[in-house]
Amino acid sequence: MRNGLNMKQLKYAIVGVGGLGGYYGIKLAAAGKDVHFLLNSDYEWVNQNGLRLDSIDGNLHLPTVQSYKQAGEMPACDVIMVCLKTTSNHLLAQILPTLTAKGGSVVLVQNGMGMEESLLETFPDLSLAGALAFICSSKVGPGHILHSDYGKLSLGWKQLPKPGLLEQVCNDLSTAGVSNEVVPDLMAARWRKLVWNIPYNGMSVILRTTTAELMAHDFSRQMLRQLMLEVIHAANACLAAKGSGSSSSESRIDPSFADAMLASTARMKPYAPSMKLDYDHGRPMEIEAIYGNPIRLAQQAGYEMRQVALMENQLRLIQSQYIKS
């Protein structure tokens, strides 16, 4: 099963064609994979002009793509890659039943924590994987994606795994020139990503700045480090609690991971994290997925993330200043 070369080619549905869905979908389609794009506001434009990717690894233009305006028009797909912002996850209640009626596994390519659990409340029988995108990319125009750094996709099963499927996805990604891996403990991988996302996403919004300025002072690096250590503490409390994953004791995050994150960020180009882009464009921020849910999970495991909770409330107040609920 592990060798996908002789297997039936996978059909992909891409739900959410922004910085993530656009990048991975275009790369797969350009490599000859069978990719079907579910579009919303960009549908007419993409139907006329196709999709375009400006990438550090080389530009791609697909003049014609398999595009759809309604989930009901799409064929049965083996892999439904959900690349929406978590703030749009309420749309899935309508979209997913149509797409999964004919089988297929959902791969949730999103940051943060708690989205799989929330999805399984509505769809308890879903074959569900999660994925984390380590990438700097964004949509810069209709059907037009800019990829400026990194790109790796980490995938892991949450429920009802289809044996060999993620490995076949990885083969396809590799063929398409996208670096990838399958992780044994999806929740541990999500926590590790939060060690970066929690300090940098929120602080770039609260302090109206970029990663570079946050890394420019001893005191601000110290602040980031304290936040990282709080996330690592929370992660280890959650991973130690039962039900977190199969290999929780091996998944434990060492505090030295904070220093590794700081060092690798110091080498990055000045960078506005996704939450800063959302803020700059007046879009809702992923506060619940990146802050609220991890805080609640840590609480349930007996650990209070006090600094992270302060940031969450600062972000909620900032969001209330431009989005009236």
Query: Do residues 183 and 161 lie in contact, with contact meaning Cβ atoms separated by under 8 Å?
Result: no
Q: Any contact of residue 299 with a copy of itself (CB under 8 A)?
A: no
Query: In whole angstroms, how close is the CB of 219 to a copy of itself at the nearest point?
Result: 5
Query: In whole angstroms, how close is the CB of 217 to a copy of itself at the nearest point?
Result: 7
Q: Any contact of residue 152 with a copy of itself (CB under 8 A)?
A: no
Q: Which is nearer to a copy of itself, 98 or 226 (CB)?
A: 226
193 included as an active-site residue: yes
| Residues from 117 through 146 that contact a copy of itself (CB under 8 A) | none
Q: Any contact of residue 255 with a copy of itself (CB under 8 A)?
A: no
Q: Which stretch binds a copy of itself (CB under 8 A): 93-101, 121-129, 146-154, 226-234?
A: 226-234
Helix (H, G, I), strand (E, B) or coil at 200: helix
Q: Any contact of residue 320 with a copy of itself (CB under 8 A)?
A: yes
Torsions phi, psi for 181 (to 5 deg): -160, 160
Full DSSP string of 5-32: GGSPPPEEEEE--SHHHHHHHHHHHHTT
Q: Which stretch binds a copy of itself (CB under 8 A): 46-54, 58-66, 84-92, 225-233?
A: 225-233
Q: Which stretch binds a copy of itself (CB under 8 A): 110-118, 123-131, 166-174, 217-225?
A: 217-225
Q: Any contact of residue 317 with a copy of itself (CB under 8 A)?
A: yes
Contacting residue, 90, 152, 217, 252, with a copy of itself by CB under 8 A: 217
Q: Any contact of residue 307 with a copy of itself (CB under 8 A)?
A: yes
Contacting residue, 17, 108, 214, 253, with a copy of itself by CB under 8 A: 214
Distance CA 198, CA 289 (A): 10
252 DSSP assignment: P
Does the CA dihedral 302-221-250-112 come out positive or negative?
A: positive
Give residue for tokens 């300090």: 199
State how far the alpha carbon of 96 is from the alpha carbons of 12, 107, 187, 286, in Å: 14, 12, 22, 21
Give residue for tokens 């030295």: 256
Residue type (1 letter), 323: I
Distance CA 60, CA 145 (A): 10
Q: Which stretch binds a copy of itself (CB under 8 A): 32-40, 47-55, 161-169, 202-210?
A: 202-210
Number of residues that bind a copy of itself (CB under 8 A): 26
Nearest to 212 by CA among 227, 195, 224: 224
Nearest to 239 by CA among 251, 226, 223: 251
Q: Any contact of residue 206 with a copy of itself (CB under 8 A)?
A: yes
Nearest to 153 by CA among 297, 290, 4, 27: 27
Does the CA dihedral 40-44-50-51 come out positive or negative?
A: negative
Selected catalytic residue, list 69, 193, 242, 269:
193
Query: In whole angstroms, how close is the CB of 312 to a copy of itself at the nearest point?
Result: 8
Contacting residue, 3, 48, 122, 226, with a copy of itself by CB under 8 A: 226
Q: Give the binding site for a copy of itself (CB under 8 A).
A: 203, 206-207, 209, 213-214, 217, 219-220, 222-223, 226-227, 230, 306-307, 309-311, 313-314, 316-318, 320-321
Residues that are catalytic: 193
